[in-house]
Amino acid sequence: MEEQEFISRSQAGDVDAFNQLVERYQRLVYNLALRMLGNAETAEDATQDTFVSAYRAIGRFRGGSFKAWILRIAANSCRDKMRIARRALVTSLDDLMEEAGDFITDDKTESPEDYAQRRELGRFLNEGLAHLPEDQRLVVILSDIQGLSYEEISQATSSSLGTVKSRLNRGRSRLRDFLLQRRELLPAEFRQDK
């Protein structure tokens, strides 16, 4: 069944059709939330909040990219969670480091050394993402990890195309600078010599 049919049926109150949309997008939403929030438990809560909000608002969906629409709701849910965390002062970089490798799939054919290097690189990338300002982190994740187009990111963030490109450029630059400052800690094949 096509996505548009699931959307139409969901708008008519078909819970099973909406569940099909959830199954199709839950991994994408969870991965965004995990990278934005840095904590698996909080990311699970944000993912659940996203789909509850989407279910309540599906009648107001007026077309366009459903993916961008659901990711905008997810981004807003993540922002809400971050505001709550800032007020409670419970955000922990240690939690981020503990969760860093959990969303990277394991390849059973890689050597233990390759596995360890991949996990270490994932940890550094996630640490770098955590240091980016929220707006830049979001567009870097949506573009470079989730693979969305500039137009989809623009819709998902309710930002102009120029703003998306600017934030992406600044975010990538800051991430690169973060990694270059710590290049001696990266696996050898990822170090750049200047």
Query: What is the tens place of the pLDDT at every residue in 124-166?
Result: 888 888 889 999 999 999 998 888 899 989 988 989 999 999 9
Domain range 3-190, CATH architecture:
Orthogonal Bundle (1.10)
Longest dimension (CA), the chain: 60
User: What are the extents of the domains in the chain?
Assistant: 3-190
Q: What is the pTM of this model?
A: 0.64
Could you tell me the sign of the dihedral formed by the alpha carbons of 98, 103, 106, 110, in that order? Answer: negative
- The pLDDT assigned to 84 comes to 79
Residues of the chain with pLDDT under 50: 89-107, 194
Q: Please, is 194 exposed, middle or buried when counting C-beta atoms within 10 Å of its C-beta (0-12, 13-18, 19+)? A: exposed
The two three-digit tokens of residue 77, written as one number: 């849910």
